[in-house]
Amino acid sequence: MTPADQPNALELTGIGKAFGGVVALRGVDFTLRAGEIHGLVGENGAGKSTLMKIIAGVHAEHDGTMRVNGREVVFRSASDALAAGIGMVHQELSVVPELTVAENVFLGVQPTTNFGIVDWAKMFREAHEQLARLGIDVNVRQTMGMLPLGVQQLIELGRVLFSGAEIIILDEPTSALSPPEIERLFETLRRLRASGKSLIFISHFLDDVLAICDTVTVFRNGRKIATMPAAQIDKLWIIERMIGTGHEDLEESYTSERMLEAPPNAPVVLESQALCKLGAFSDVSLNVRAGEVLGIYGFMGSGQLEFARALYGKIIPDTGTIRIDGKTLRAKNTAAAKRAGIALVPESRRSMLFALEPVYKNVSISILERLSALLLRPGAERRVAQEHVEQLHIRPPRVDLPLGNLSGGNQQKVALARWLAYLPKVLVLCEPTRGMDVGAKDDVVKIVRGLRDAGLGVIVVSTEPETVLSLADRIVVMKKGAVVREFTNEAVSKDRLLAAA
Ligand SMILES: Nc1ncnc2c1ncn2[C@@H]1O[C@H](COP(=O)(O)OP(=O)(O)O)[C@@H](O)[C@H]1O
Ligand SMILES: [Mg+2]
């Protein structure tokens, strides 16, 4: 059969989907040809995962029609889609950490003996063989949760790639993988394509998308914007369509520039020299001056969050040095980092705040050490907290409320208030405005500028270009664990950041 006679692997027409009031997809037509690797790109929230979940039967309620190999289908569940030959690796890792590697590989489809009981010997043998094809050499009897995240991700990939599915969907599968692991994955994808499988590949790494895909489709704001053969387009073409030129969405123009200043003529407060952590980041050298906000931008999995944790002693680097005020930080733990003057507000607020405790306790926790040296007085604790709560416009401005009663944005401000009460030399902020509304974001921008003007060195780590663009005086871009570009004393814009990452 020539390709022309062959029905398309998938044909979607007029797909729409809303969650409550939020429209995630509207009027999407999408075709996956048999035997192609089709790349799907678009900013966070563009609707990529939602469309894939519709194809995989996860979202049964939607508008529009779907054909698989030319035949119309209606999926009521993920197992309907599976039965139709559709396999999906989800963006969120969905392994079962308590089970063995082999059980995860055969989740739900364990080989059985003639008597209907699980054939363990066969399962272990086949799991081992499958994983070896992806270059994974692990003891398949081991508990899944004990393995590094990247390996767990590869095992999950293996499960779907070798499940026999004819249509394979990979939703951002490379974010936890190292370059050699990605190369091996790509070899496997090419082999699967050669054997006639059809694949959809979602990734933020546009170079990867262009390297591995035959066709690329761009999504923006729940709409399909364009589909093109990969050979006829380049990275900039994709970026322009991903972010729009600004005039059709009445929102801000993303290509608008911001002028960065030269670093201030002030001493370096933090310096990282050739910092390495296997599997997370390598050879990261950078510095921050007093009175400067350094932005570190990169896609999810580029190593910037791990680097931030290493600065605070939460991750022990393999090699390299950290200096504070020119002094090498010898002990590698959070207590030593704190003593040296480093503070960290992590991306997950839950890990450092106490939802059931009142606001004032959450603010004062960092000064407790100092206050308790004197003798802790609840009055003093409350008074200090009240000042900061007012200064930061925390709503409602009541320090006795349990923290859990505040909105996420206000909780984040409490996390910041803690460091206002105990001024560090270097403040590391991870995803400081994620999930906040515009007003709360503005407050954070003001707070961070205030801290900078008070002489702190601030590091803002984010996967959102808008966050570093609105906060940073200088920006470094990390990609796959390494610093690849620095923007300083020059114009920078969202499309330039994306192009560098
Ligand atoms: N289960 C859900 N409930 C409510 N809203 C959702 C759900 N899944 C996705 N959304 C919303 O739909 C939109 C598209 O999200 P998604 O498909 O995950 O985008 P992408 O994968 O391109 O980043 C976003 O606004 C997101 O918040
Ligand atoms: Mg997604």
Of 423, 454, 477, the position where a domain reaches its end is 423
346 touches ligand 1 (CB under 6 Å): no
- Does 372 or 389 have the greater pLDDT score? 389
Average pLDDT score over residue span 374-386? 67
Structure confidence by residue, pLDDT tens digits, 278-293: 888 999 999 999 999 9
Which residues, 6 or more positions from 446, have their beta carbon under 8 angstroms from its beta carbon? none
Ligand with smallest separation from the Cα of 50 = 1
Give, to the nearest 10 degrees, the angle between helix 408-420 and helix 378-391: 120
Q: Closest ligand 1 atom to the C-alpha of 46?
A: 22
Residues 196 and 75 grouped into a single domain: yes
Q: Where is mean pLDDT largest: 81-90, 346-355, 363-372, 385-394?
A: 81-90
Average pLDDT score over residue span 126-147? 85
Residue 365: per-residue pLDDT: 59
Residue 173: per-residue pLDDT: 83
47 touches ligand 1 (CB under 6 Å): yes
Average pLDDT score over residue span 440-458? 84
CB–CB of 245/261 below 8 Å?
A: no
Residue 252: per-residue pLDDT: 46
With a cut of 70, say whether residue 3 has pLDDT above it. Answer: no
With a cut of 50, say whether residue 422 has pLDDT above it. Answer: yes
Task: Supply the mean pLDDT for the chain.
Answer: 85
Residues around ion ligand 2, judged by CB within 5 A, are 49, 91
Domain-embedded: residue 194: yes
Nearest residue to 444 via CA among 452, 455, 432: 432
CB–CB of 243/206 below 8 Å?
A: no
Angle (CA) 404 405 406, round 5°: 90
Residues 288 and 301 grouped into a single domain: yes
* CA 46 to ligand 1 center in whole angstroms: 8
With a cut of 70, say whether residue 374 has pLDDT above it. Answer: no
115 touches ligand 1 (CB under 6 Å): no
Residues 176 and 200 grouped into a single domain: yes
42 touches ligand 1 (CB under 6 Å): yes
Q: What is the DSSP letter of 262?
A: P
Residues 17 and 44 grouped into a single domain: yes
Average pLDDT score over residue span 251-266? 72
Residues 306 and 361 grouped into a single domain: no
Residues 163 and 17 grouped into a single domain: yes
Q: What DSSP letter does each residue of 64-108 carry, written as one string?
A: EEEEETTEEE--SSHHHHHHTTEEEE-SS----TTSBHHHHHTTT
Structure tokens at 89: 């690796």
With a cut of 60, say whether residue 385 has pLDDT above it. Answer: yes
Q: Closest ligand 1 atom to the C-alpha of 171?
A: 21
- Does 62 or 406 have the greater pLDDT score? 62
With a cut of 70, say whether residue 470 has pLDDT above it. Answer: yes
Residue 409: per-residue pLDDT: 75
Domain-embedded: residue 452: yes
Average pLDDT score over residue span 180-204? 90
* CA 46 to ligand 2 center in whole angstroms: 8
Residues 160 and 306 grouped into a single domain: no
- Does 360 or 185 have the greater pLDDT score? 185
19 touches ligand 1 (CB under 6 Å): yes
Q: Where is mean pLDDT largest: 29-33, 346-350, 372-376, 489-493?
A: 29-33
Of 184, 211, 243, the position where a domain reaches its end is 243
Q: Tokens 């469309």 belong to which residue?
A: 51
* CA 155 to ligand 2 center in whole angstroms: 20
With a cut of 60, say whether residue 220 has pLDDT above it. Answer: yes
With a cut of 50, say whether residue 249 has pLDDT above it. Answer: no
Average pLDDT score over residue span 443-462? 88
- Does 449 or 66 have the greater pLDDT score? 66
Domain-embedded: residue 166: yes
Average pLDDT score over residue span 238-252? 65
Residue 366: per-residue pLDDT: 53
CATH of the domain at 286: 3.40.50.300
CB–CB of 287/268 below 8 Å?
A: yes
Residue 227: per-residue pLDDT: 98
For ligand 1, atom 16, which residue shows the shortest CA distance? 47
Structure confidence by residue, pLDDT tens digits, 316-373: 999 999 999 999 998 888 889 988 999 888 776 555 566 667 777 766 655 444 444 4
Predicted TM-score (pTM) of this structure: 0.68
CB–CB of 381/364 below 8 Å?
A: yes
Q: Looking at 276-280, 374-378, 427-431, which range is the least confident one?
A: 374-378
Residues 190 and 166 grouped into a single domain: yes
45 touches ligand 1 (CB under 6 Å): yes
**How would you write 169-226 as a 3-class SS string?**
EEECCCCCCCHHHHHHHHHHHHHHHHCCCEEEEECCCHHHHHHHCCEEEEEECCEEEE
Residues 149 and 286 grouped into a single domain: no
For ligand 1, atom 3, which residue shows the shortest CA distance? 19
Residue 248: per-residue pLDDT: 45
Q: 195 exposed, middle or buried (CB, 10 Å; 0-12, 13-18, 19+)? A: exposed
Residues 107 and 162 grouped into a single domain: yes
Question: 35's torsion region: left (phi>0), alpha (psi -120 to 50) or beta?
Answer: left
* CA 24 to ligand 1 center in whole angstroms: 6
Distances (CA, A) of 190 to 8, 68, 164, 184, 199: 19, 22, 15, 10, 10
Residues 237 and 215 grouped into a single domain: yes
Structural domain that includes position 83: 10-243
Alpha helix positions (H), 25-73:
48-55
Structure tokens at 2: 């020539």
Of 423, 458, 480, the position where a domain reaches its end is 423
Q: Do the bridges between strand 491-492 and strand 258-259 make them parallel or antiparallel, or are there none, so unpaired?
A: antiparallel
Residues 112 and 153 grouped into a single domain: yes
Tell me the percentage of the chain whose pLDDT exceeds 70: 88
Average pLDDT score over residue span 28-47? 94
Ligand with smallest separation from the Cα of 435 = 1
Distance CA 150, CA 177 (A): 5
Quote the number of domains for the chain. Answer: 3
With a cut of 90, say whether residue 473 has pLDDT above it. Answer: yes
44 touches ligand 1 (CB under 6 Å): yes
**What letters, b where the CB count within 10 A reaches 16 and e where it falls short, cover 197-218?**
bbbbbbbbbbebbbebbebbbb
